[in-house]
Amino acid sequence: MAIPQSKVFRVDGMSCQHCKMAVESMVGKLSGVESVSVDLAAGTVEVKYNAEQVDTEAIEGAIAGAGYDVVKDS
């Protein structure tokens, strides 16, 4: 059995409850995602997921699909 992973993504452009709901809905639809928590004030999305079912690229794609940009560390 896989151990759940957790990752915090920094996301630009989220400012309201609609933003929060859109991101939580898109990411939550991915198979293997256990929970999604958006912090509007911090501009972050914390995702708990099963790495055997979904990878971070798919999660980032779902965030982008909701209309927001994941900030990459430089």
What pTM does this model have?
0.92
Please determine, for residue 8, whether its predicted confidence score (pLDDT) is greater than 60: yes
pLDDT in tens, 11-54: 999 999 999 999 999 999 999 999 999 999 999 999 999 999 99
Q: What pLDDT does residue 1 have?
A: 63
Q: Which residue has the tokens 């779902």?
A: 62
Q: Provide the residue range defining the domain that includes 23.
A: 5-70
What is the chain's alpha carbon radius of gyration, rounded to the nearest angstrom?
11
Token pair for 47: 């995702």
Structure confidence at residue 10 as a pLDDT band (50, 70, 90): very high
Distance in angstroms (rounded) separating the CA atoms of residues 27 and 52: 16
Number of domains observed in the structure of the chain: 1
Instruction: Supply the CATH number for residue 19's domain.
Output: 3.30.70.100
